[in-house]
Amino acid sequence: MTLPFTVLNMLKITYIEYNGTAHEVEGREGQSIMEVATQNLVPGILGDCGGTCSCATCHTYVDSAWVARIDAATDDELGVLEGALDVRENSRLCCQIKLDSTLDGIVVHLPQRQY
Ligand code: FES
């Protein structure tokens, strides 16, 4: 039997707060890691600009096991990241990371605060 619509796979994301609390949620392909966080009320991801790469309130640290699997940040993202606190080598604005099947299981760590 063929379904009359496309079934999208749910992809797992784990957000780990500064205090170590982990939040494991699921998102759909094409969503950003910021969108999934705000829809699931993950604390510490604000997403004030709605994902337009202009606020840096979606700052995360990509887990070292996943850094090589995501595309490099654009110059625009790097410019906005300059306004974030405690920026590290693995810092990313998670509104700029779109989910696809290769990112199923990704882990991101949250900074102590966004501002
Ligand atoms: S939500 Fe504003 S830069 Fe990511």
Q: Which atom of ligand 1 is nearest to the CA of 46?
A: 1
Q: What is the CATH number of the domain that holds 42?
A: 3.10.20.30
What pLDDT sits at residue 86? 96
pTM of the entire structure?
Answer: 0.92
Q: Are 108 and 88 in contact (CB under 8 A)?
A: no
CA of 53 to the centre of ligand 1 (A): 5
User: Which of 49, 29, 28 is closest to 40 using CA atoms?
Assistant: 28
Residues 67-97 pLDDT 10s: 999 999 999 999 999 999 999 999 999 999 9
**28: CB partners within 8 A, 6+ apart:** 8, 9, 10, 11, 99
Alpha helices in the chain (DSSP H): 33-39, 75-81
The pLDDT score that the predictor gives to residue 1 is 67
- List ligand 1's pocket residues with C-beta within 6 A: 34, 47-49, 51, 53-58, 80, 93, 95
In a domain, 58, yes or no: yes
| R_g over Cα of the chain | 14
Count the helices and strands in the chain (H runs, E runs).
Answer: 2, 5
Task: Give the residue numbers spanning the domain of 53.
Answer: 10-109
Q: Which residue has the higher pLDDT, 9 or 107?
A: 107
Ligand 1 closest atom vs CA 50: 1
Q: How much distance in Å is there from the Cα of 101 to the middle of ligand 1?
A: 22
Q: Is residue 115 part of a domain?
A: no
Nearest atom within ligand 1 for CA of residue 58: 4
Number of structural domains the chain divides into:
1
Residue 91 located in a structural domain: yes
Check: CB of residue 92 under 8 Å from CB of residue 74. no
